[in-house]
Structure 1
């Protein structure tokens, strides 16, 4: 297999043949599924000459694990440190329209030509054993390579899945952050909350403070147990942020409270990372994070709630914003999620539901989603649409506000449909 991609055009863009070839190569690794472990990452870093400071000082890493709210908390942390004028890097997942969203420096996505070059370097580094790699490991290596070139002062570093054996768990952080933990990905992380919490707590390091959101009793006990074994101070940030916040929903106020306390912990650990209250408030009043109770227009909300816990929070946020007014719900659920429980939480706010799918092989077929809906509530009107375009057209025929939910993949397709300025990655194996 060749190790290089075709030559780039003079001004590379999303349709650049080299970028397209790099993405085609990258997306073949989705067929490898999820393989937890750190050996591949350590090997890639060694071959690619990626140096990780064992003291965690250059740069400072804020490592964020949890089930729901990771992306929002990371966006808040990134916004706070960027507002101070520090050079920041931000690694997140998944993306809505392009993998470039996952890797940002000072709020700017990794350039197209850097993706092509970086993936080419990963490909060459993995020659002879690339069949062992996963999609997420490759993207994590790309992020590390790009961040090393850009020399950020602070890196906001989001866990992909779990924590202990997640590809991101090769850094020495300044602070670990844990968002609310719920049942999800049980096939990889364990069947109980305690087991899942134990995997998430695998990012804890000796002497590194941990700031956690409020957790259920079993989760809190599991986190405390790991913290005691590792030798780190665990603090639960159980409250709601009271200042101006640009993101809607009470759950975002809890996320902002967590982010604020994580920044305070980082400043206590390292005075050079201290951030004033005024700067924190300025950042949180302006932070943006699409697809999380996002008002695309006054009568249209996009929310990527993809598991029962997130669906429950979405239902509460809807009531906060719309009271008893019900929505026309456009819903898509991935096949590995608990569709019945997601639907159960969203039924009270739904006047009707339009079941649809996305361009992803994991999508639960709309017909099966319709069966789950009618099984729970036979009287709820449930329609089927073949795409977000058809679903939006159908929803526009009703007078109710519209809610698009159930998957960030669906939110990505919805945002691209609503905003022609968005240029998604060329179709690949997504």
Structure 2
């Protein structure tokens, strides 16, 4: 099947979001096969591979800014997208034209058609980003991992000169990666095999730092460790700057803007922050970044997340939390959220903020009743409801 239009490209990619899609080792093997069918275009370009639990997107964005300032052209793979599918595969920090995307997706779909089993959505979007980079003749790839490292769909970069960045590691995706920080660290640091150089961003645990340091030593990888700074955005800048130094470029001076990460807008006279913090570590980082407690937090939590731990992380963010949820369907394939009643119960169990319950369709009234013009409203808990909430409030 040929992909000739934007709609066809979008529909084909979304068709790969399906129950029973391969996970773990099977997903990695599927991704490897997809790239082989494409001719392994990822190995024609130098690349930076970014893994971690928190801070990958911020580090990727800052690194891309620094590379562009140094005169390099960059194809980047980021995830997830919030408003536009093309956020997953940018060229020089900008959304590519749909004509370019269609051409790349057509090549990926043709490669997938030669496989016995369809690849995952994530593998296909990763391949699209790389194929776009090949078509555009960029100087470097910046590839952000999804889940883990060892069996992540992005662990297909075969060149020895791939630079690895490991951002903060914590508990997330425990059903796939393991239930301890040590197990998760081992999975993520597995991408160091065959590498020469790596950057280790600030870690919340000395045990994680020591473990990755030991893995790097055993693999013969030169490891540059970044000291913790005052907040996670500064950590991302420092981590990106350390990577730029290894590439022979100057440091990046200012944080890069990134969709759905501390994204600030004004809606109805309220100051609104959209941030996709979706695990306890990221929620704590968000709380530490805010200069004030929000009048209202609008929150949803993915059904696969630790509900109680996320509820505990949401509490400090605001005076009132509106529990909502998100779903999936033919027009919006993907995971579902914890129910409104489940999230509300978990929030009330923290004995923290006042809790209200609301579907997204009724949030305008909640904002009107629970906040005043000039107040801070924070929308968080997942990337997967940010776009719907923004459309509703706007």
What TM-score results when the alignment is normalised by the length of structure 1? 0.81
**Structure 1 Cα separation of the partners of residues 7 and 206 of structure 2:** 52
Alignment deviations for residues 227-247 of structure 1 (CA, whole Å, 9 cap, x no partner): 122110122101438xxxxxx
281, 300, 305: which one pairs with 2:277? Answer: 305
1:21 Cα deviation after fit:
3.6
| CA-CA distance at 1:213 after TM superposition | 1.4
The correspondence of residues 291-302 of structure 1 with structure 2, limited to 5 A, is 291-297=260-266, 299-302=271-274
Give the deviation of 1:124 after TM superposition. Answer: 2.9
The 1:82/1:251 distance shift into structure 2, 3 A limit, reads: same
Instruction: Tell me which residue corresponds to 2:184.
Output: 196
1:402 aligns to 2:377 (yes or no): yes
Q: Report the count of equivalent residues.
A: 378
Q: Tell me, which stretches of 5 or more residues in structure 2 are unaligned? A: 329-334
The answer as to whether partners of 1:19 and 1:112 remain within 8 angstroms in 2 is no
Residue from 232, 235, 241 that aligns with 1:254: 235
State the match for 2:386 in structure 1. Answer: 411
CA RMSD of superposed structures (Å): 2.3
Q: Look up the match of 1:385.
A: 358
In the alignment, structure 1 residue 227 sits paired with structure 2 residue 225: no
Structure 2 Cα separation of the partners of residues 412 and 100 of structure 1: 14
Contact 1:30-1:134 within 8 A present in 2 as well: no
Q: Is the 8 A contact 2:323 2:355 kept in 1?
A: yes
Q: Paired residue for 2:337, among 357, 363, 378?
A: 363
Q: Which whole-Å CA distance do the structure 1 matches of 2:22 and 2:315 have between them?
A: 32
What's the CA shift string for 1:209-263, capped at 9, x where partnerless?
Answer: 111112212211221221122110122101438xxxxxxxx21011111111111
2:77 and 2:129 in contact (8 A); partners too: yes
Q: Deviations over 1:118-139 (max 9, x none)?
A: 3333333233645352111121
Range that drifts further, 36-45 or 400-409: 36-45
How far residue 359 of structure 1 moved from its aligned partner, in angstroms, is: 3.3
Alignment-derived partner of residue 263 in structure 1: 244
The 5-angstrom pairing of residues 84-99 of structure 1 reads 84-99=70-85
Within 1, Cα distance between the matches of 2:167 and 2:10? 35
**Aligned counterpart for 2:122 among listed residues 136, 148, 162:** 136
What is the rounded CA distance, in whole Å, between the counterparts of 1:35 and 1:194 in structure 2?
A: 18
Hey, what does 1:44 align to over in structure 2?
A: 34
C-alpha spacing 1:210/1:107, structure 2 compared with 1 (3 Å): same
1:240 and 1:71 mapped to 2: Cα distance?
18
Q: Which residue of 2 aligns with 1:245?
A: none
Tell me: CA distance 1:26–1:350, structure 2 relative to 1, closer, same or farther (3 Å).
Answer: same
CA offsets per residue over residues 73-111 of structure 1, 9 Å max, x none?
A: 000001111122321111111110222111011122233
CA contact 1:331–1:353 (8 Å) conserved in 2: yes
- For 1:98 and 1:61, the matched residues in 2 are separated by 24
**2:82 touches 2:386 (CA, 8 Å); kept in 1?**
yes
Are the aligned partners of 2:226 and 2:239 in contact in 1 as well (CA < 8 Å)? yes
**Inter-partner Cα distance in structure 1 for 2:42 and 2:7:** 33
Q: How far 1:114 moved relative to its partner? A: 3.5
Could you report, residue by residue, the CA deviation over 1:363-388 in whole angstroms, capped at 9, with x for unpaired residues?
111111111111222x743211111x
Residue 332 of structure 1 is matched in structure 2 by 300
